[in-house]
Structures are given as structure tokens and as C-alpha cells.
Amino acid sequence: MSIKRALVSVSDKQGIVDFCRELSALGVEIISTGGTSTLLAKEGVPVIGISDVTGFPEIMDGRVKTLHPAVHSGLLAVRDNEEHTRQMTELGLGYIDLVVVNLYPFAETIAKPDVSYEEAIENIDIGGPTMLRSAAKNHAFVSVVVDAADYESVLEEVRAGGDTTLETRKRLAAKVFRHTAAYDALIADYLANVTGEPLPERYTVTYEKIQDLRYGENPHQKAAFYRKPLAAQDTLTAAEQLHGKELSYNNINDANAALQIVKEFEEPAVVAVKHMNPCGVGVGTSVYEAYQKAYNADPTSIFGGIVAANRIIDADTANLLKDIFLEIILAPGFTEEALEILTKKKNIRLLKIGNLSAAAARKSSFVVTSIEGGMVVQESDVHSVNADDLQVVTDRKPTEEELKQLLFGWKVVKHVKSNAIVLAADDMTVGVGAGQMNRVGAAKIAIEQAADKAKGAVLASDAFFPMGDTLEMAAKAGITAVIQPGGSIKDEESIKVANEYGIAMVFTGVRHFKH
């Protein structure tokens, strides 16, 4: 076997001229279509038009050109099948040994903010996937290339032996089916959203690999980092790493958790995260002040953690950050002076990310969580409240300052693993109780962490109190106001306890379980 004829039709023409010129020099006949054929001819590469092979013109603005027996017989014929060989000879058909195709730029088309539905549909490739699938199915005899990164390795094998190895053809065929599956998944997702079916009977997703990771959650687990096509610029997958070691699996999860919290705030905010829970959150008039509050919230747990800021890191803030061991600092940018300070620390990872505003955070999307044998899909929790949404249920109304701290605490507790309790005062967290099996246990942890700072603080709970015991504990610690969803059959018991201790309590009507 040897490669004698190649069919080339590409939308992304990077590297295609040099590839085809080399193939031609090796004695391979090049068949091509449309713009690819025009480009090759212009560059002096001998090329045969597809119409010369099919005996039929390209019609309907190029919609129909390769969907023809003269093409697909040459791709699908089993070369060691006598009947196939006889039919090819009788019909005067020629084999095609190599297919080089990449598809209409559907992803790039729908990424345009002003794209029309008609334009999107027109950029759904039909002939390209059909040729790819035909060639990939018949990879025992046909080589198929869908990725320009494979041009050189294919050329090396053709130079050495006239053909690719079966092992290479299998690898290339597998890549083709991954590629066409991803292409179709993106189209399916686009049309599902257009037709208002975000959770259809079949949920297809596709992701592109960013990098292999050294290991997963633990060293014995393999892992890789992927992103969705067209991911927003304010997501971790779009971050630019400016300095430091490669991200690890745990780094990625922690950084994403920090990112989701910091996007809740319009004012300058800094979030410190450890094991996907916030250990310190602060807001201030500047990133410098916000970081001081986040650090002072829990100076112990921040060690070895992740810090995210929603403002550019300046030199003064960098001088504080350099004094402790941090895995990652994530921000919209770093001043030159800040970079000079922080890059002196060899291993710290510095990530630059897009617009980190509360408005961006409230854009709804869908979250996919894997379970053994399947997955569950839900809308992301982008719900937010303001003062007008709150129902005061106690005799005493919260003061203006208490109301400010309650809303701050509510933004944070939403992102803490349930059962969750957050204590807040002076625009910072002073106690966080996360992931406990009962709410009293979460409150106890938060109050013990806050110590004397609990007096005069407010308390946020991600879900309702099933009884009044948490309020009793809060009152004894000196907490003055509480925000919670409400909705328990024992709400009146909690309200009674709050009134007895003069605590102001408000209901949001919405819970924020996070598992």
C-alpha cells in the first residue's frame, strides 16, 4: 500500500500549502475543492478540481460538491475485498488514500456577538464530516487528517515508507471521531438554546483540553484540565498564567471557588480560599484594604491558600501578599511593580483573568456534576438579593450597618459548603462554619473561630433553622442580627428566640445549599 491520491478541503488553511507541496513532491495526486483548490493552484501546487473527479459541477453555492459516489466509493472501498475491487474497476472509480479536511468554523461563527441564526446554520458543515467519517471508518486503508498538528508526522511516515502505519491510521481515525462528535455537540447545544430546550432528552457536551495535570486530587489519580468552547473571559479556563508552576487539580478547584465568590462584589474585594471554602473575605475602599480584612479574618488558614481579587494588584498589596506562602493569586491584572515583587517567589502562580464584576457573575449557565454511571445537570446558582427583597420577621429591624453586613454575609455563605454558617462584621468574615452534618455544629465552629469578634457580628445561614437552638447559641455569643431563608415549620420558634434576645432577623425566601 502507498498513498497515491489525497483529497484536501480545509477551512483553516494554516500550513496546508506546504503540506500539499510536499505531498505532491512525493508523487501524491492532490484533489481539492473550492477555496482550497484556488489557493493551491495560486501557490503553484498541482491540483485536480473535485468536479474533474465527480464529473459534476459544484452546485448550490458549494453546498453540494463532495457528496458523490466517485468520492465516497474511493474512501469506503475495502481494498482486499474482491467484489469492491471489481465494482471500482467496472465503474472506473479511483481510490482515495488520504483525506485532509477541517470543518466550517461553526464555533467561531456563533462566538460573534451579532451572529444571525441564518449565518450560524450556514456554517454547519455537511460534506466535511461525511468525508471524515468515511475515511475514518475505513482507516484500515485510508489515512485521515483533521488537525494541522499532524501534518508533519504524516509526512515523515510517507517519506519513509510511502504510507502511514496502521497504528497511526487508528490514532488519526480516533481523533476524527472525537472531532466530529465535538462539532455536532456544539451544534446540538446551540440549537437547544435557540429552541429553548437547555435540558433536552439527550445532553451532549464537549470540552477542549487545556493541559494534562501532574495528578488529580491525590498523586495516584490521573487528571487533565478542559474548557468549554466559547467559555467566557471571566472564567478560570480563560485565565492567563503570568508566573509560577503549572496548576494542579486542587489548585484549579480552589481557584474556581475563589473566583465565584469574588465575582459577587462590585466594590474592591479579596477572597482567600482553602479546600474550596472561603477562609477569609473582605471588602474595602481599595484592594489593599480588602486584602488586609481577608487576611485578618483567618491568618492561620490563609497559609497555603488561594487569593482572588476583583481589582488590579498594586505594589502595596503585593508587599503584603509576598509575606506568606500562597499557592495562587488571581486578579484582573498586576502592576509592573507588583509583578516585580511577586515573581521573586519562584513557585507562586499568578493568574490574570477577565472582568470580575458582580454583573458577570449573575449570568446563568449550567453546571455538570459527574456521578458514577452518569451525571446531574443544574442551573448555576446566580440568585442574589438586595435590601428590598428581605422580609423582617422580628420585632427589631436591623440597623443600616447590620443590613449592610447581612447582605455581605449572604453573598459569602452562598459559596460555603453546606451546612454553612458565616459570621460577618466590618465588611469581613470573622467566622466560617462549613460542611457540617448539622447546622448547630456549623454555627459552633464559626462562633469559636470568631471568638471575641462574634460580639456585635451578624450571622448568615445558607438554609433555615429547623429549631431555635442555633439562635440560642448565636445570642449567647453576642450576635445581633441574622439572615436566613426561612421556610421551616418551626420558624416561629426561631423568631421567638430572636425576639427574646433582641436579635434582628430577616428572611430571604431562597436557600443556597452547596454540595
3-state SS class at 216: coil
**DSSP-based helix, strand, coil % in the chain, nearest 5:** 40, 20, 40
DSSP of 228-283: -TT--TTSGGGPEEEESSPPPHHHHHHHHHHHHHHTT-SS-EEEEEETTEEEEEEE
**Helix (H) / strand (E) containing 351:** strand 349-352
Cell of 149: 498538528
- Between CA 198 and CA 236 the distance in angstroms is 23
- For 302-334, b where at least 16 C-beta lie within 10 A, e where not — what string? beebbbbbbbebbbbbbeebbeeebbbbbbbeb
Active-site residue, selected from the candidate residues 4, 68, 84, 137:
137
Catalytic residue among 275, 322, 345, 383: 275
Using CA atoms, how far apart are residues 407 and 385, in angstroms rounded to an integer?
8
Rounded-to-integer distance, Cα 277 and Cα 274, Å: 6
The answer to whether residue 383 is catalytic is no
CA quadruple 78, 79, 82, 85: dihedral sign: positive
Residue whose C-alpha is closest to residue 175's, from 110, 104, 100: 100
415 is annotated as an active-site residue: no
Cell of 219: 498523586
CB 125 within 8 A of CB 106: yes
Check: CB of residue 361 under 8 Å from CB of residue 235.
no
Query: Which three three-digit cell numbers place residue 342?
Result: 511577586
Q: What would the DSSP string read from start to end of 292-329?
A: HHHHHH-TTTTTTEEEEESS-B-HHHHHHHTTS-EEEE
- Cite the active site residues: 137, 275
